[in-house]
Chains A and B, each alone.
Chain A
Amino acid sequence: MSADLEARIPGFLRGVRLQRDRVRDQWIVQAPERAFIVDTIAASILQRVDGDATLAAIIDALATAYDAPRDVIARDVIDMVEDLTARQVLVCKS
């Protein structure tokens, strides 16, 4: 189940992107008619979304970068990607 989930490849929907807001010193997602702030955890996940990397690869990279247990990171990443998919920020292909 989890292996299936992790084989998916997230990408940004056309017209949506992550961007550094240098004036307010924060990360934001820009989308049609809205822009919203994302916290540093979400930003660190979204920075690794490039339309090529699988969720598994993103989770591995974050577990290494933050020296954190992989299963904890995996849960966070999968939850967040699901939330952002529902909010029309990301799309997943398998």
Chain B
Amino acid sequence: MTIPFPMSLLAELTHRCPLQCPYCSNPLALENVRNELPTDVWMRVLNEAADLGVLQAHFSGGEPMARKDLPELVRGAAKAGLYVNLITSGILLDEASFIPLVDAGVDHVQLSFQDVTPEGADLIGGMKNAQGRKLEAARVIVAQGVPLTLNFVVHRLNVERIPQMFDLAGELGARRVEIAHTQYYGWGLKNRATLLPTRAQLEQSEKDVASARARFGREMAIDFVTPDYYADEPKPCMGGWGQRFINISPSGRVLPCHAAETIPGVSFPTVLKDSLESIWTKSDLFNRFRGVDWMPAPCRTCDRREEDWGGCRCQALALLGDASATDPVCRRSPDRGLIDAAIAESADAPLIYRRMSNHKS
């Protein structure tokens, strides 16, 4: 099998974050600040990524602006020719902290909003008065002329406000909007019963996005991620395992996707020991589910196998305890019943927030 060149690097600089969203994509076992990679290692890794073919670097977290060396890292990435995207909650973003990032060459900012109402935002973020700071952050970004994407993660508690989310994006001058239904791994899975939308809500959300597309036309790019629980086929996991994406954890573990750290029985490659090139091309973890040779039935003979790559490995692991099984979202999976049961089980329960103290290993 020929190994493709990677396109994107998701650099999770830190797991520190002022918010505690109950669907956070970070692992349940959050990394301590003591184990975070130092600046010089990140600089080396950014250069290795560019040499390997990566075109875009996404600085994420936790909250990447919690890293004091962020301007330096942005400068290093830009110098290596990478397109620099900052993925932030905006809580720490003001003129004083943002202008150094603009000077360093940040190309685009993706700002997350938890809701359009202050009450809704506080409930999900687990922080008081977060909304005002986010609105201020959006104004600073637009005033600096940097293209802005607003990201809304939607779920049962806020999905009915999608039209107002687009109103807000229009008012703030965002060029792109992402409406992403919650993904149920890690923290999201813990809160699935409370967050999973009903089928009626899902259908309404599709209508709301379609009418926003008609309303804004070419003025605004709109990205819509549907919840795979209501689909008959899984989503292609990150464009295929080891096909396009590299994810690096705060301590330097190199992963094909952000949830891969949960897979048992593999040794995780780390940038502290190996070059990115050798990890991408030779490591057991990246080769394990690359291509189609590893696939079980029914994927092995399915005509969609090179479209969705058998779905999400981490979802198969989280729900079935087996990362090499067909994603149970698929109607052809023998385990689809689990997903239908989860849909039937949804009920309001208190949210479990993303904090170190809420995970006992």
Complex formed: what's the CA distance from A17 to B20 in Å? Answer: 35
Q: Kindly state the separation between the CA atoms of A32 and B176 in the bound complex, as whole angstroms.
A: 8
Contacting residues, chain A, for B223 (C-beta < 8 A): 33
Q: What's the Cα separation between A21 and B5 when bound, in Å?
A: 11
A63 within 8 Å of B (CB atoms)? no
Q: Is the pair A15, B107 in contact by a Cβ cutoff of 8 Å?
A: yes
Complex interface: chain B residues within 8 A of A88 (CB): 175, 218, 221
Distance between B335 CB and nearest chain A CB, rounded to angstroms: 33
Q: Which of B21-65 contact A (CB under 8 A)?
A: 51-53, 55-56
A1 contacts chain B at the CB level, 8 A cutoff = no
- Residues of chain A touching chain B, judged by Cβ–Cβ distance below 8 Å, are 13-15, 17, 19, 21-24, 28, 30, 32-33, 35, 86, 88
Residues of B within 8 A of A86 (CB): 218
- B107 in contact with A23 (CB, 8 Å): no
Q: Within residues 208 to 256 of chain B, which ones have a CB less than 8 A from any CB in chain A? A: 218, 221, 223
* Interface residues contributed by chain B, number (CB under 8 Å): 22
Residues of chain B contacted by A19 (CB below 8 angstroms): 55, 81, 83
A selection of 9 A-B contacts at a CB cut-off of 8 Å is: A15-B108, A15-B146, A23-B52, A24-B5, A32-B108, A32-B147, A32-B221, A33-B108, A88-B218
B85 contacts the other chain (CB 8 A): yes
The answer to whether B145 has its CB under 8 Å from any CB of chain A is: yes
Are A30's CB and B175's CB within 8 A? no
Q: Are B107 and A33 in contact (CB under 8 A)?
A: no
Task: Indicate if the CB atoms of A35 and B55 lie closer than 8 Å.
Answer: yes
B7 at the interface (CB under 8 A from A): yes
B149 at the interface (CB under 8 A from A): yes
Instruction: Judge whether A35 and B5 touch: CB under 8 Å.
Output: no
Q: Please determine whether B147 and A30 come into contact, CB atoms closer than 8 angstroms.
A: no
User: Considering residues A13, A24, A33, A88, which has the most beta carbons from chain B within 10 angstroms of its beta carbon?
Assistant: A33
Docked CA distance A33–B85 (Å): 8
Interface residue ranges of B108-137 to A (CB < 8 Å): 108, 110
Chain A positions within 8 Å of B146 at CB level: 14-15
A35 to B175, CA, bound (A): 16
CA distance A19 to B85 in the complex (A): 16
Residues of B within 8 A of A21 (CB): 53, 55
A15-B147, A23-B5 given; A33·B51 CB < 8 A: no
Nearest 6 A/B pairs, CB to CB: A15-B147, A23-B53, A32-B108, A30-B83, A35-B55, A15-B108
Q: Which residues of A contact B53 (CB under 8 A)?
A: 21, 23-24
Q: Is the CB of A28 within 8 A of B55?
A: yes
Q: Specify the chain A residue showing the minimal Cβ separation from B51.
A: A23
Chain B residues positioned under 8 Å from A17 (CB to CB): 83
Chain B residues near A24 (CB, 8 Å)? 5, 53
Q: Which residue of A is nearest B145, CB measured?
A: A14
A13 to B108 CA separation, bound complex (whole angstroms)? 12
Q: Are B107 and A30 in contact (CB under 8 A)?
A: yes
Residues of B within 8 A of A23 (CB): 5, 51-53
Say how far A82's CB is from chain B's closest CB, in angstroms.
12
Q: How far is the CA of A21 from the CA of B193 in the complex (A)?
A: 45
Q: How far apart sit A88 and B223, CA to CA, in the bound complex (Å)? A: 15
Bound CA–CA A16/B347 (angstroms): 45
Q: CB-CB < 8 A to A13: which residues of B?
A: 147
Distance between Cα atoms of A18 and B66 in the complex (Å): 31
Residue of A nearest to B53 (CB): A23
Residues of A within 8 A of B176 (CB): 32-33
Given contacts A32-B175, A33-B149, 9 further A-B contacts (CB under 8 A): A13-B147, A15-B107, A19-B55, A22-B81, A23-B51, A23-B53, A32-B147, A35-B55, A88-B175
